[in-house]
A and B are shown apart, each in its own frame.
Chain A
Amino acid sequence: MAKENAEQKGIVSIKLKLLGVIVPIVIVIIVVLVLIAYMTSARVIENYSENLLESSVENQVSQIEAWLNENIAAFQIVKSTIETTQPDEKELQTMLDTYYNYNSDYPQGLYIADENGKVWKASESEMSEDDPLNSTWYQEGLSRVNMAIGSPYTNSQGVNVISASGILNDGSGTTKVISADMTLDRITVIVNAFIEMKNAEAFLIDVNSGTILAHRDSALISTKLGAEGSTVFEKSVAQKIAERDYDFCTLEGNMTVFKEVSGTSWVLVSYIPTKIVLADMMELRTIMIIISVISILVLCVVIERVTHMVINPVKKLTKVITAMTNGDFTVSVTTEGNDEIGVMSRSVEQFIESMKRMLSSMGDISGRLGRQADSSDNVSREMHSAASIQSQSMSELNMTVDQLSISVNEIADNATRLAGVVSDTKDDSLNVENKMRETVRVSQKGRGDMERVGEALEDIRTSIENLKTAVNKVGTASGEIVQIVQLIGSIAEETNLLSLNASIEAARAGEAGRGFAVVASEIGTLASNSTASVEHISRLIDQVNSLVGDTVRQAGDSAEHINESSKLIDTAIETFDVIFNNIQETSDLIDQMVEKINQVDEVATNVAAISEEQAASSDEILATSESMLEQAKGIAENSQHVANESRSLTESSEELAKQVGLFRI
C-alpha cells in the first residue's frame, strides 16, 4: 500500500498539467494586459497633467494679463481724461476722490506728484509720501508716458505694493507722474485664485529684480527668489529664470511650467509635485493590481472546477486501470456518458473480461510448461554428465595416442639413421673391396718385382765374379808393369850416370863440349824425371794393387751380401705369396660382406619408409583424437547450456505460474 502511494506521488495528474499550463498563461496574459494598460494610462496621465498644468498656467497668465490690462486701462482713462480736460485743482481733487475705494484692486485710488514734490491724492487716502520724487513709483513713472507696471516695493504704510505709473502729459510744462498702487497680497490672491489644477502651486516673479511678487507663503512675497535660505527648488527656478529657459521641466520632483506675462517683466511659475500627479497613478496601480489579483483568483478557481469536472471520470478510470495494473481484475467499471471517456470505460470493461479469460488459460499453460521444463532439465543434466565422462575418456585416449605417435616418430628416425649408416657402410665396404683388389694387384706386382730383383742379383753376382777375374787380371798386369818400371828405373839410373859422365866429359871438352854439356844436363834431368815418374808409377801401381786387392775383397764381400740378399728375397717372395693368398681370402670375405651389407641396406631402407608412414598415420590419429576431444568438450558445454536453459525455463515457467497466480480473476 505504501508502495502504491509512492507510485501515485510519482505521477503528475492531467489536471495538474492542465492547470500548470493554463494558469501561468492566464496569469501572464493578465499581468501583461494590466501592465500595458497601466503604462499607457500612466503616460496619458502624465501627459494630461503636463498639458493641464500648461493650460492652467496659460489661463492663469491670461487672467492676470486681463486683470492687469483692465486696471491699467482704467488708469489710462483717468490719465487721458486729466490730460485732455486739464482740470483745475478742485476738479482734479474731485476726480481723485472719486477713485478712492472705487475698485478694491487699488483702494487708495490714483495719486499724482510733480517735479516740485507736490502730491495730489484722494482726500481719504492714508498714504503720506515724505519724499515723492525719490519714490519708486515716481522714478519708474518718469521712464514712460503710458502707465505700466513697475517693480514691487514697500510703500510709506509698510505695505508691499506694486505701482502702475507714467508721466502725466497734461501739457502744463511741469513734469507730473500719475500712479496707482496694487498690493502684492492682492496680486497673490488673484494669482492663486486662477490656479486651475488641484494641488498645483504658483508664484509670480519679476524677472528684472528677481523678486517674488506673489506667493501663497506671504513671508516670501517681496523677497528675492533663490536667496539665502530658500529651498533647492526655488534656487533651481531662479537658475532657469536667469537663463531665460522657460521650457517645461521637472525640478526637484516638481513638474514646473514658466510663462511670461506680456506687457510686464513678470514670469508666472506654476508647479505641482510629481508625486501628486503620480498619486493618481499609484491609485490606478493599486486598483489594477487588485483587479488583476481578483481576476486571476477567479479564473484559477473556474479553471480548476472545470478541469476537475472534465477529469473526474478519467480519475475513476485511472483507479480501475491502476487496480488492473496491480493484477486485480475483480474490479468493475461504471460506464456513463457517451463521450470519449464513456467509450474508454466500455473498452476497459471489455478488456477486463478478455483478460480474465486469457489469464486463466495462461495459468494452465504455464503449469504444463513448468513440468516440461523440469523433465528437459533432467535430461539435459544426464546428457551433460555423459558428455563429461566421454570428454574425459577422449582426453586420456588422446594422451595415449600422443605418446604412441612420439614413439613411432622416434622409431622412424632411428630406422632412417640406420639406413643411412648401412648405406655408408656399404660404400665403405665397396672401397675396401677396391683397395683389396688394388692390394692384390700391387702385391702380385711386388712379387714379380721381387722375382726380377732375384734375377738382377744373380746378374750382379755374375758381374762381380767377372769383375774379380778382371781385377785379378789387373793384378797380374800391374806385376808386369812393375817389372817394366823397374827396368825403366834401371835404364834411367844408367842414363843418369851417362849424363854425369857426359857432363864431365863435356866440361873437359871445354867450349866445344858446352853444347854437349847442355844436352848432358837435359839428359840428366830427363833421367831424374824418369826416375821420379818411375817411382811415382810404382807407387801408383802399389796403390792400384792395394785397390784391386780391396776390390777383390769387396767384390767377394758383395757377392756374399748378394747371396744373402738373394736368399732374403726368396724368403720375401715366399712371404709375398703367403700375403697374397691371405689378401685373396680377405677379398673374398669382403665380397661376401658387401653382399650382406647390400641386403641389410635394402631392409633398413624399407624399415625407414614404413616407419615414416607409420609416424604420419599416428599424427593423423592424434589430430583426429584431439578434434574428437574438442567435440566431446563442446558436447559437455552444450549439454551444460541445455541444462542451464532448461533450468531457467523451469524458473521462467515457475515465474509465469507465479505471475499468473498474482492476477485475481
Chain B
Amino acid sequence: MKKIMSAVLTAALGVGCLCGCGAGNGASQTAGNGDGIKIFVSLSQADTFRSVLIAAAQETAEENGASIVVYDAENSIENQVAHIKQAVAEDYDVIMCGPVDADTVLELEATAGDVPIIFYNSCPDDSLLEPDKYMYVGSSEEVAGQYQAEYILEQMSDKSEINVVLLKGPQNHSATRGRSEALKNTLKASGKTINMVFEDNANWEQGIAEEYFDVFLQTGREFDVVVCNNDSMALGVIDSCKKNGVTGVPILGIDATADGCAAIEAGDMAFTVYQSATGQGEAAVKAAIALGSGGTTEGMEGLSEDGKYVWVPFEKVDSSNVADYK
C-alpha cells in the first residue's frame, strides 16, 4: 500500500515537474531561450521569398541560442524524404519543412517518426496536421483574398454592380483556391452584384496573364477591376494594358514583390498584399523551438483555435505605404 502511494506521489510530482517545464518552455519561446535546440530545415527550392524566410529563421534561431541547418531539396520529393531521414538519424529536435509537394506530407510525417515538424510555405491538408506535433506556420491565403476584396469594395463603394477580371494561379494550388474563394465570398457578401467577366488560371505567369488579358480585351467586355492571385500576373496585365492603351483600371496583386512595389510606385498597380517572409521565418523558428524542447505553442501569437496553425498576418500595401516594402 505504501509502495503504491509513494509511486502515485512520485508520478504526481513527475507530472508536476513536466507541467512546470512545459510552461517554462512555453514562455521561453517568447522570452527567447532555445539553448541547445537543434533545428533541421528542408527547403523545397530556393527563391526570393523563401530565401528571405530562411534568413529570418536563421537569425531568430541564433538570437535564441538554437542551432539550425538548412538543406535545399531542389524541388525533389526524393531529396526531401532523404533529408528527413537524415534529420532523424542525426537526432535533430525538430524539423522545419517547406514541402515540395503538399500531397507527400503523410510520407514525410511517417519518415520523421517522433520528431515534430513545422511546415511552412505550402500548407498540408488539415487532416494531416496535429497540435504541437505537425503544425503549419504561414499566412492565411483567405486573408490575402479578403484584403483584395476589401480594397475593391472600399474604392467602389458607390457602385452597385462590379465587373471583375480574375487571373488565378494553377487550378489545384491551395493558394489559388484560398485567395480566389475568399475574394469572391467577400465581394458577394457585400450585397453588390458581382460579375466575373473573365476568370482563368494564368498559373502565376506574367506572360500567360498578358496573353489572356489581350484575349479578354478583344472581347470588348466592360470591366471595373483586375484582380490577380499574385504580383507577376498583375504585371502581365499591366503589360497588356500598356500595349492596348487601356488606362485607369485598378489592378490588384498579392506578394508585394519588388517589381510589384515598383509598379505601385509607378502608379500602374493599385494594391498588393505583403506576405511577410521575415515574419513567417521568425514564427516558424519560435514554434520549432517550442516543440523541439518538448513544450507547447500554447499562448503563441497567431495560434489558431484548433492549435494546428500559426498564422502570420498579411499586410496591405498601396501607394500610401509602398515605400516601406521596397
> By the criterion CB–CB under 8 Å, are B200 and A145 in contact?
yes
> By the criterion CB–CB under 8 Å, are B218 and A143 in contact?
no
> By the criterion CB–CB under 8 Å, are B185 and A143 in contact?
no
Interface residues of A in 434-466 (CB under 8 A from B): none
Binding site for A on B (CB under 8 A): 171-172, 177, 185, 196-201, 211-212, 215-216, 218-221
Say which residue of B171, B199, B216 sits within 8 Å of A262 (CB atoms): B171
> By the criterion CB–CB under 8 Å, are B171 and A167 in contact?
no
Further 13 A-B residue pairs, CB within 8 A, beyond A142-B219, A143-B198: A142-B197, A142-B198, A142-B221, A143-B196, A143-B197, A143-B199, A144-B198, A145-B211, A145-B215, A146-B200, A167-B216, A173-B218, A175-B215
A244 interface contact, C-beta 8 A:
yes
Which chain B residue has the least Cβ–Cβ distance from A148?
A: B200
What's the Cα separation between A262 and B216 when bound, in Å?
A: 24
What's the Cα separation between A167 and B220 when bound, in Å?
A: 13
Instruction: Point out the residues of chain B lying under 8 angstroms from A175, CB to CB.
Output: 215, 218-220
Nearest Cβ on chain A to B197's Cβ, whole angstroms? 6
Which chain A residue has the least Cβ–Cβ distance from B166?
A: A143
What's the Cα separation between A175 and B216 when bound, in Å?
A: 9
What's the Cα separation between A263 and B180 when bound, in Å?
A: 12
Which chain B residue has the least Cβ–Cβ distance from A167?
A: B215
> By the criterion CB–CB under 8 Å, are B219 and A145 in contact?
no
Q: How large is the interface on A (under 10, 10 to 19, 20 to 34, 35 or more residues)?
A: 10 to 19
What's the Cα separation between A175 and B219 when bound, in Å?
A: 6
What's the Cα separation between A262 and B221 when bound, in Å?
A: 27
What's the Cα separation between A262 and B168 when bound, in Å?
A: 14
What's the Cα separation between A220 and B257 when bound, in Å?
A: 49
A169 interface contact, C-beta 8 A:
yes
> By the criterion CB–CB under 8 Å, are A167 and B219 in contact?
yes
Knowing A244-B185, A262-B172, say if A146 contacts B219 (CB, 8 Å). no
Say which residue of B185, B199, B218, B220 sits within 8 Å of A144 (CB atoms): B199
What's the Cα separation between A263 and B172 when bound, in Å?
A: 8
Interface residues of A in 241-269 (CB under 8 A from B): 244, 262-263
29 pairs, CB–CB < 8 Å, chain A vs chain B: A115-B219, A142-B197, A142-B198, A142-B219, A142-B221, A143-B196, A143-B197, A143-B198, A143-B199, A143-B200, A143-B221, A144-B198, A144-B199, A144-B200, A145-B212, A146-B200, A146-B201, A167-B215, A167-B216, A167-B218, A169-B211, A169-B215, A173-B218, A175-B215, A175-B218, A175-B219, A262-B171, A263-B171, A263-B172
Interface residues of A in 99-127 (CB under 8 A from B): 115
Nearest Cβ on chain B to A497's Cβ, whole angstroms? 185
Closest 7 CB pairs of A and B: A144-B200, A143-B198, A142-B219, A175-B219, A145-B212, A169-B215, A175-B218
Nearest Cβ on chain B to A311's Cβ, whole angstroms? 43
Instruction: Point out the residues of chain A lying under 8 angstroms from B221, CB to CB.
Output: 142-143
Instruction: Point out the residues of chain A lying under 8 angstroms from B172, CB to CB.
Output: 262-263
Interface residues of A in 134-170 (CB under 8 A from B): 142-146, 148, 167, 169
What's the Cα separation between A167 and B218 when bound, in Å?
A: 10
Q: Among the interface residues A145, A169, A173, A175, which one has the most CB atoms of the partner chain B within 10 A?
A: A145
Instruction: Point out the residues of chain A lying under 8 angstroms from B219, CB to CB.
Output: 115, 142, 167, 175
Nearest Cβ on chain B to A86's Cβ, whole angstroms? 15
Instruction: Point out the residues of chain A lying under 8 angstroms from B185, CB to CB.
Output: 244
Instruction: Point out the residues of chain B lying under 8 angstroms from A173, CB to CB.
Output: 218
What's the Cα separation between A142 and B196 when bound, in Å?
A: 11
Nearest Cβ on chain B to A42's Cβ, whole angstroms? 25
Instruction: Point out the residues of chain A lying under 8 angstroms from B198, CB to CB.
Output: 142-144
What's the Cα separation between A167 and B200 when bound, in Å?
A: 11
Instruction: Point out the residues of chain B lying under 8 angstroms from A115, CB to CB.
Output: 219
Which chain A residue has the least Cβ–Cβ distance from B177?
A: A262
What's the Cα separation between A144 and B200 when bound, in Å?
A: 5
Instruction: Point out the residues of chain B lying under 8 angstroms from A145, CB to CB.
Output: 200, 211-212, 215
Which chain B residue has the least Cβ–Cβ distance from A174?
A: B218
Instruction: Point out the residues of chain B lying under 8 angstroms from A143, CB to CB.
Output: 196-200, 221
Per-residue B-contact encoding for A173-204, CB less than 8 Å = 1, 0 else: 10100000000000000000000000000000
Instruction: Point out the residues of chain B lying under 8 angstroms from A146, CB to CB.
Output: 200-201
Which chain B residue has the least Cβ–Cβ distance from A146?
A: B200
Nearest Cβ on chain B to A257's Cβ, whole angstroms? 15
Which chain B residue has the least Cβ–Cβ distance from A177?
A: B219
Instruction: Point out the residues of chain A lying under 8 angstroms from B211, CB to CB.
Output: 145, 169
What's the Cα separation between A244 and B188 when bound, in Å?
A: 13
Which chain B residue has the least Cβ–Cβ distance from A265?
A: B184
What's the Cα separation between A262 and B171 when bound, in Å?
A: 8
Nearest Cβ on chain A to B192's Cβ, whole angstroms? 16
Which chain A residue has the least Cβ–Cβ distance from B202?
A: A145
Instruction: Point out the residues of chain B lying under 8 angstroms from A144, CB to CB.
Output: 198-200
What's the Cα separation between A143 and B218 when bound, in Å?
A: 11
Interface residues of A in 640-662 (CB under 8 A from B): none
